[in-house]
Amino acid sequence: MTFRTNLTAFCFILLTTVAQADIVTPKHNAVASAHPLATKAGLEILQAGGNAFDAAVTVASVLGVVEPYSAGIGGGGFWMLHQAKNNKTLMIDAREKAPAAATRDMFLNKKGAVDRDLAINTALSAGIPGQAAAMAHLAEHYGTLPLGKTLAAAIHYADTGFPANKVYLQLAKVRHSVLQRYPASKRLFLLDGAEMDIGTLIRQPGLADTLQALAKDGFAGFYKGDVAKRLVKGVQAYGGIWTEQDLADYTVVERDPIRFNYQGATIWSAPPPSSGGVALQQMFGMMSQFKYSDMNEADKTHLLIEVMRRAYRDRAEYLGDSDFVKIPLNRITSEEYLQDLSDSISMAHATPSSSLGLPKQVGSGTHTTHFSIIDKQGNQVAATLSINLPFGNGVTIEGTGVLLNNEMDDFSAKPGSPNAYGLIGSEANAIEPGKRPLSSMTPTFMEFGPKDNRQLAVIGTPGGSRIITMVFLGLLEALDQKGIQSWVDRPRFHHQFAPDVVQYEDDAFDPKLKAALEKRGHTLKSVGREYGDMHTVRWYQKNGEVEAASDKRRLGYAEISP
């Protein structure tokens, strides 16, 4: 480490120590999530004396009911937590695990090609879910209320129904043919073909019973006993390979977040098996070699594209489940390494991805969910949860109401063969029994701002492989001291190494900027629609004020308690 970096680190410690002495706890509770019913239920739990971790269980469980297409107890996710009383920041890794009978080539057909339908639309594509275990873990170790209370709202909406909204109708249409294949899904989510409109009630009584079992018996209510037996029987009847042992063996893992500094800010984000934190650290690390804030718009955009390209290259090459593969984390996040990477950036020309080696192809996602919470004690939760594609693999197990994930498709089923997002991975992300598939989910905290106005952001979004660059762009808005709504609303663009194109929302570049980027050799490709659904909260630590914002692109809802 050079003298300069030592000095920077010293100044930084001084700055945050001074700031910590002045912290004023939040004056309000704040919740931002993808659905008003979930946000409101979370705030009610907070008002009733629960903390942010209790509210997280409530928000996640309600989202699992009212957004059956995004995340639920048939899926998994990552929960970043900050516990104020002991200043502890950690991540609960509740990512799905490959069943014990999983094999490397399980999605290959006789010709050795990946059977895409098998990999996303069947019981075989479901990993062992982590969501219910995460809720039980949160309740046991971090919350103050029993699951009977925190799951009550979800049980109510599962039992009595929730009104379909336009996102529901749109995604049920996208996955119509798959949902139709499985009788319980057809009945529950397509109402057996009856006409559905905005406001049509969707009831899930089986799911209400399963949530009751979780409320009553905690982990065992889902992973052992009746529910577990039904799940295994149902999965096997559809050709899947789960066993009761797989369920009983599932555990969440508490992991240390990726933590790094960028220009006086501290960022905590998801470690492997997510690629989010490492990619953020690499992108910010490369940026710190440039005078970003002095640049014009074209230079800034070019630089962001180039750092995205390089981080996604490393994602493809090095990242996987760190419990199974050795990730050279220290090396690929070291200052020397990131300096080398940034030295390869030309400000005049786009670097062809092929010149960086490893021709890999990557794509984008369509559903998952994120919420952000802060409570009056200063506890924080950033949770990104998923069943992968909209309505997961489309399989609902009779007698449980559990709609299964297709997260096994986040593994690299065959070197060089793209998954649903066009992602191609390396050996590091090959299928192995008990392993967790590599993810892009990036729940994140950032402490930032000038010494006399330190702020704390809780942020994240769904969006498949584009999640990481969305969070990156959102954090940059925050670092620029932009209003919180612009963190989530700002137009987005994305580069993921391969395909070697800049993907963008139509309003991201004006004609002049487009021309400037094309002149440098970038190939621009409109995504043709808006993407992402970001939800965030901010706490001003100098006076305890809080703010919350939900993405304008969807139907999310952010609220602050009085």
- Catalytic residues, which ones? 368
**Residues 6 or more apart in contact with residue 526 via CB below 8 angstroms:** 503, 504, 505, 506
Which is closer to ligand DON, CB of 206 or CB of 462? 462
Residue closer to ligand DON by CB (options 58, 386) is 386
What is the Cα–Cα distance from 405 to 208, expressed in whole angstroms?
18
The residue at minimum Cβ distance from ligand DON is 365
**CA-to-CA distance for 39 and 41, rounded, in angstroms?**
6
Q: Which of 410, 477, 500, 551 binds ligand DON (CB under 6 A)?
A: 410
Of residues 160 and 170, the one with the C-beta less far from ligand DON: 170
Number of residues that bind ligand DON (CB under 6 A): 15
Number of Cβ atoms within 10 Å of the Cβ of 14: 11
Query: Which of 366, 400, 429, 496 is in the footprint of ligand DON by CB under 6 A?
Result: 366
Considering only 440, 469, 496, 550, the residue that binds ligand DON (CB under 6 A) is 440
Tokens of 341: 């990477």
**CB nearer to ligand DON: pick between 304 and 389:** 389
Q: How far apart are CA 503 and CA 517, in angstroms?
A: 12
**Is residue 155 a contact partner of residue 215, using CB atoms and an 8 Å limit?**
yes
Please provide the size of the chain in residues.
562
Each residue 265-304 as x (binds ligand DON by CB under 6 A) or -, in order, gives ----------------------------------------
Question: Shortest Cβ distance from residue 124 to ligand DON (Å)?
Answer: 16
Q: Does 61 bind ligand DON (CB under 6 A)?
A: no
388 near ligand DON, judged by CB under 6 A: yes
Q: Is 412 in the site for ligand DON (CB under 6 A)?
A: no
CB of residue 319 to ligand DON, shortest distance in Å? 11
Per DSSP, the three-state class of 319 is coil
Question: Rule CB under 6 A: is residue 407 a binding residue for ligand DON?
Answer: yes
> In 3D, which of 431, 461, 367 has the Cα closest to residue 405?
367
Binder to ligand DON among 42, 464, 474, 556 (CB under 6 A)?
Answer: 464
Select from 123, 99, 168, 203 the least CA-distant residue to 403: 123
Cβ-based nearer residue to ligand DON, 441 or 478? 441
**What is the pairing mode between strands 201-202 and 253-255?**
unpaired
- Determine phi and psi for 457, rounding to 5 degrees: -110, 140
Residue 232 or 488 with smaller CB distance to ligand DON: 488
Per-position b or e across 158-186, b if 16+ CB within 10 A of its CB: bbebbebbebbeebbebbeebbeebebbb
Binding mask 123-162 for ligand DON (x = CB under 6 A): ----------------------------------------
- State the minimum distance, in angstroms, from the CB of residue 421 to ligand DON: 7
Considering only the stretches 1-9, 342-350, 359-367, 425-433, report the one whose residues sit in contact with ligand DON under the rule CB under 6 A. 359-367
Nearest to 403, CA basis, from 126, 136, 2, 171: 126
Is the previous residue joined to 499 through a cis bond, with omega within 30 degrees of 0? yes
Q: Which amino acid is at 125?
A: S
Q: Which stretch binds ligand DON (CB under 6 A): 40-48, 263-271, 446-454, 456-464?
A: 456-464
Give least dist CB 323 to ligand DON, A: 16
Going from the C-alpha of 459 to that of each of 182, 228, 411, 472, 537, the distances in angstroms are: 35, 34, 25, 10, 7
CA distance 508 to 512: 12
CA dihedral 359, 364, 368, 372 (to 10 degrees): 90
Nearer to ligand DON, 411 or 448 (CB): 411
Residue 426 in contact with ligand DON, rule: CB under 6 A: no
218/460 with CB nearer ligand DON: 460
d(C-alpha 554, C-alpha 183), whole Å: 29
Query: Does residue 462 belong to the site contacting ligand DON (CB under 6 A)?
Result: yes
Region for 171 from its dihedrals, namely left if φ exceeds 0, alpha if ψ lies in -120 to 50, beta otherwise:
alpha
CB of 278 to ligand DON, least distance (A): 13
Q: Does 396 bind ligand DON (CB under 6 A)?
A: no
CB of 272 to ligand DON, least distance (A): 12
According to the binding rule CB under 6 A, does residue 365 interact with ligand DON?
yes
Smallest distance, Å, CB 369 to ligand DON?
Answer: 8
Torsion angle of C-alpha atoms 171, 173, 174, 179, degrees rounded to 10: 90
441 binds ligand DON (CB under 6 A): yes
Provide the binding-site residues for ligand DON, judged by CB under 6 A: 365-368, 386, 388, 407, 410, 439-441, 462-464, 467
